[in-house]
Structure 1
Amino acid sequence: MAGPCTSGFWRWMVLVLIATTATVTGQVCQSPFGMESGAIPDDSITASGVGHHYALDPHLGRLNGTTHYGAWGPALHIIGQWLQVFTGNTDTKNPVTHLLDNPVHARYVRFYPQSWYGYIAMRVEILGCNTEIIWGLTLNDAGMSHLNVSWTVVGNLPISRYTLRYQPSDGSGPYQDLSPAPGAGDTSATVLGLMDHTEYTLTLTSFDENNQPNGVINETFTTGGRRIIIWGLTLNDAGMSHLNVSWTVVGNLPISRYTLRYQPSDGSGPYQDLSPAPGAGDTSATVLGLMDHTEYTLTLTSFDENNQPNGVINETFTTVCQNPLGMEDGAISDDSITAFSVLHHSYVQPYFGRLKGTAGWGAWTPARQDNQQWLQVDLGVIKRVTGIPTQGAHLPVNNHYSWVRLYKLEYSGDEFFWTTCADKDGSDKVFTGNTDTKNPVTHLLDNPVHARYVRFYPQSWYGYIAMRVEILGCNTEIIWGLTLNDAGMSHLNVSWTVVGNLPISRYTLRYQPSDGSGPYQDLSPAPGAGDTSATVLGLMDHTEYTLTLISFDEDNQSNGVINGTFTTVCQSPLGMESGAIPDDNITASGVGHHHYLQPYFGRLKGTAGWGGWAPAHQNRGQWLQVDLGVIKRVTGITTQGALQLVHHRFSWVFAGNTDTKNPVTNLLENPVDARFVRIYPQSWYHYIAMRMEILGCSTD
């Protein structure tokens, strides 16, 4: 691994960079550290050995030193001797300085003589300065009772926490610590509740992983200007159709009411007022019924007892379901993170597999390095999962830098039945992982899933299997998934799912031609509180409609909204694939002697038995019959070959299909009304074998 100095120097430095307290540099930072001045004490200067004469001790190797022989000298004059505190010198008097092309952070420095004149003898100085971890405490905003400041983090040394202390600069009040303190990843903070027109001294201190201070900056700023009543409109949760925000009330000025207005930020829609508005004592609110993946501007206004506005804040937020669900911030508890196995070392527990985590060796690692291992996260409740960031191990695992290159993802709602995330062709999707230990790689799911449990299955890795992960998503909505069950020439039947146990007192279901050619209408009677499906009648044929379902809580406030677009066309599956048509409604002229070829195995995409119906005789008189239960309009047929081998050969109806997997659909030029439908194979490959669906709708 190449380093900023020679390879030998870098290999040694790998062991000591953990305890960095100073920067060794040859650029702007070039202050002598103390070899010449004596600021570095004698006992901090050591060596691989010392010549027999006391006049050559390591502490005599100070730049421009003249005590005794005026240099350090080892006992043995061979390569490998070192002085710990590049072409070197050509005489005994004149210093030679080398500036490092790539400054390093170090506490210990060793010099390894490689060539010498006479005896190895050195006097040295080290140039550099104190490390800068945080820099530039800057005022962003000042009010009559607040100061908002920001700072810059320099380099990549770890910061576990901050303290921000403040005090009137004249000492008229004691120091106070900002609570809560800035988080480890923060670069700004606001101090509230200050005295007007007062100069304050702010001191920001950063701490390392061992809770030792590793950086400090301070500045003085003065309060003055506008009085802050409400502050910090902050996003708590975003979903596909909602935003939940909160704010802080500053001081004790009266607030009688609020308004919260929202609008698409691009101006594509008008301002709307949240109804009901937040109450006088509220500090959070949720806006429902928003458009997915849309940026909104929210404006919160507070009013005094005379109904005059006395505060206003605004922010922009986007309706997108990509919130971290709790691995990095610890919202997911340690005992909710489990694994198939764990390496014997206690530094690689499953709960060390948190994104950007540094506990232990900073990753989960299993006992065995094979693709049967998994890391599992329990989200606590079913949530919508939309993405996964992953990261390699923070520290080497058994002295090996390690990360996962490829992995699969499984999910479950109950921890018993698992589904593997699929690729576009239906095969298991293999996600590309990491290429180093540091940089997270995020994948957004093409098809977000609802799950409580998520498992990561490493498939390929560098060094050891070692992962840190996060899961992106959001809470599921109150109502979810407006789905078309049946479409006819003049009707649409839809259903939806109620998520969680929040109360629903009633619904409204509005519908309108999607092209705006007709007005919105409300379904009457509306769906009942316990309903999860509804049918809209009296629609125009071959027309696309937009349906909007709104649920209401016990206080008659809307608490969920979903919508979808559907077309009145008579091509709905009539029940073979879904199972709505029972097994005993599916009969045939005959059945192959094997019980794996029953007529009811002939369902489209079915996998029961050998995944298809096959008759006993291979001739054109064979048929598969479906009883629809009542007369329906039949508009098309979809067929598919047998899923598995029939007498050790793949088989399908040749006129319809060309393989065992891909369905082929034929729409009837002249739809018919029928209760019973028979399929008569006319040509086939190897054996007659088929799976099928019938398309149509109820007769209107």
Structure 2
Amino acid sequence: MNEYQRTSSSLLSAHQKTSHVVNSGISENLSSPIYHPALHLRFSRNCDISDCISKPHWYSNFKGSASFRTNNPPGQSKAKTNMKRPGNVTPAYVGTFALLLCLHSVTADYCKVNHCYNGATCVTGVGEEPFICICADGFGGDTCNLTETGPCSPNPCKNDGSCEVIAPTRRGDVFNEYICKCQPGFKGVHCQINVNDCEKQPCKNGGQCRDLDGDYSCQCPSPYVGKQCQLRCVSLLGMEGGAIVESQISASSVHYGILGLQRWGPELARLNNQGIVNAWTSAAHDKNPWIEINMQKIMRLTGIITQGASRLGTAEYIKAFKVASSLDGNSYITYKVDGQQRDKVFVGNIDNDRTKTNLFDVPIVAQYIRIIPVVCRRACTLRMELLGCELHVYSNMAGCSEPLGMKSRFISDGQLSASSSYRTWGIDTFTWHPQFARLDKVGKTNAWSPAYNNRSEWIQVDLEKTKRLTGIITQGAKDFGVVQFVSVFKVAYSNDGESWSTVKENTGNDKLFQGNTDNNTHKKNVFEPPVYARYVRVIPWEWHERITLRMELLGCDD
């Protein structure tokens, strides 16, 4: 028995039980209301068309013109009734049965929020039926969310939820079985409810959670970063370790001591630097001294470690200082007291040897950072280290600019190879092996140099496992007083040592890195985005005198 046969049977049964019938088969004296759950319609007892016309129960919220569409058995036309004025009488035809709806006893206005879809009109219902949807052409179902092509066209699921028909069943000429699969952060039959993602308190280390549509964000206190504030952004950025090279450090002035023989330059301002001349000191006549570090890309800076030094047996240090920063090296902003407009003065050192750490309440996002002495003891003398991390945190790594081991020999000789090696005067003792290509190596043969000067030569490092590479530092050398260096080079990488890729520009062309201009200065280049590889090759492209290279790789474990 199909849906329409069951409908007809129930209505006939109700008709046969009546004591009196009026108006073409509609019962006048039924003992209880007729309710048909399949059609979701309720028919009142003891009413006829004259009752509904003479004693109408108007819906206060139903005005204008609307249509109610019924689903009919095959072969019978669809009836469509238009109501042209406010009223509560809706004749509906199902097959040959004329039904009279006398809607009454409205207790609440459920249609203040329209529960009906696809342009349908919501009419407040009665009893167990709080509302009725009057569907537009082409739609059906309790809430007019179904179509003749199936319930998923158009998609009834909200917030990018996916609709799936779970059974090819039909009710009349429409499908009626589907489910919505919701995107993370949403729930409900139609994915209409935004889950409060902050209820589970996902933010760690004092982070403040903000609920978003289908997601959340954490406002992290310094120095924490990451999706859940789970990472400490306090990596040493390279003043002490050498990842920040000399060419990145500048100052307003330099002090020259002992008749100008001692130069206390900014390149010496490295934490724990040793030697007689081991720090930066500004010139005595400089009334507005500063020292600046160019990070070569925008970084997140969370703090600074400062240290003084001793000159001619006398302690010198900076007792108080300010910090300024810039994105472009032209326009600078001085760090402010939190929530105020006045410059923050940081407390510095109290002697020449012990370190002092200051963390920034709000991280600084900048490429250039400048330390401005305010109060100095004898002279403004400084050794320092910067704390921070990459602007964009990858995976679980907050910082990734550490030397990987060329200089420290953590990368062993066996991990280095090359296309060829040059021998000065053909003597084996003066062979420029790839294992000599270590940053700052000293000696008569203290770098790698190939047998030939052409673009087919290369030096290779096997890192023994995949690592994240963020940059490279290069350096030239001298051969019996002759200055030699690589001025332009390419970088290739591989995970198997056989298939190679070259670091590219945004245009898709091979990137040409600018190398050195002399034999001794460090030149740093960064990889943006980082490179993930086990094997790395440096391919000289242009050079001075002869291809000669010392280097260090920067990065971290993948």
TM-score, normalization by structure 2 = 0.29
Q: Which has the larger radius of gyration?
A: 2
TM-score, normalization by structure 1 = 0.23
